[in-house]
Structure 1
Amino acid sequence: MILSISATPYIVNHTPASHRGRIGLIISIIIGTGQSLDPIVMGQILSYSSIKSGWIITGLVAVVTAVLMFLLEKYEVKLEKKKIKNQKIIIF
């Protein structure tokens, strides 16, 4: 139900060209496994609790994922600034 549409471009931008096909396959397997197991896992959760708690769990997973993506973005910006700072400027 929750899918990041920008996951593939992110992965492509951070993978060497020689490995993009392999990584694409691995990502497809991971997404497919998640889509296969999700109904089973959520079905088990709902058999012991209510629909409301299922949505709360889904919402919590979404919030945790969003926070992790935000932290990843901050980390990458920090790395990029450090990379730019360490580059020598050549003036012709």
Structure 2
Amino acid sequence: IKRLLVEVQHVKNMKEKERKRKVEEKKDNRRWIETQREREKLEKIKGINTKKYRKTKKDIERKRKKHTKEEIEKTELERRWNKEKKSEIKKQSDRNK
């Protein structure tokens, strides 16, 4: 009976050790992922040239250029429209005089 108890206890201990080891591995994995994320953030902030970051930088510049072109066109249209409005107002005021 004692032998059986000892074996059962031994098996329980082994299972507990295995469980603890798995938990520890998960913790280490999480830590590694967090440090990886922090590294990526730092790389983006510092502007370290990784291939991925270079691509995104180029894309951002392209988008900016498109955006500025659209903005320029909009502002020109607004100016023209404002000029036309002003000229119409002037014409109306001249007519009223």
Task: Report TM bin, short chain.
Answer: 0.3 to 0.5
* Bigger RCO of structures 1 and 2 (CA < 8 A, at least 6 apart): 1
TM normalised by structure 1 equals 0.44
TM normalised by structure 2 equals 0.42
Q: Which has more helix, going by share of residues?
A: 2
Structure with greater Cα Rg:
2
